[in-house]
Amino acid sequence: MNKTAVVTGATKGLGRAIAEIFAEQGFDLCVCARTETDLDAMQAEWKTRFPQTKLHIYPADVGKKSEVQEFARFVQSTWQHLDVLVNNAGIYLPGGVADEREGSLETLLETNLFSAYHLTRALLPAMLSHRSGHIFNMCSIASLMAYPNGGAYTISKFALLGFSKCLREEMKTRGVKVTAILPGATWSDSWRGADFPEKRLMEATDIAKAVWGCYNLSDTAVVEELLIRPQLGDL
């Protein structure tokens, strides 16, 4: 039986790269994204690229608690045991605290923080019952320092790192690993059309390889936080 992994926001960017590296390693996956056509296209492509992998797709907007819970029930009905959970889905809305659009904080917290909180709580029993598993939370450089023109975004990412730290302490003696990934600028749909040299940002596959490296350690070791920056530094 293949190992199992859940990845949110898995059809593009970092989520897609992370899902693919686990598929390459023989995992079966449950993934979600907002756009059903993107999920269908991903499944069609994987039938050729990863014929030994079972890919289970589910359309969900993780900014809505009810859809997070529906996705969790889908995963629970698919598997009794879960090896990896990657809370990757997230959005960025520009603006400072003083001038960003009303409701930005609520929107960003719902997508970037609450989704990870609710999905983790729902799926933890599938790890705790076997005293094994690994949870990855996709944080950011913005989890450590104020992000220019990113008031509510920065707040949400600081909070996600705080959630990761709490969860790490709670899971320490219960067999479940928790890793916060803190990437700097990485090529993804968020940067589509940006006028930067290609080598100024990291590749999504760089982050995926780092996630796999964190996972592929002995049972006695865990990477609690992994900070990854472009070679030339932050933008």
* Cβ neighbours for 91, distance < 8 A, ≥ 6 positions apart: 63, 107, 108, 111, 112
This prediction's pTM: 0.95
| Domains in the chain: boundaries | 4-228
At residue 81 the predicted structure's pLDDT band, cuts being 50, 70 and 90, is very high
User: Which one has a higher pLDDT value, 196 or 162?
Assistant: 162
CATH of 4-228, one of 3.40.50.280, 3.40.50.720, 3.40.30.10, 1.20.210.10: 3.40.50.720
* Terminal-residue alpha carbon distance, the chain: 44
User: Which one has a higher pLDDT value, 36 or 191?
Assistant: 36
Q: Which residues are catalytic?
A: 153
Per-residue pLDDT averaged across 51-64, rounded?
Answer: 97
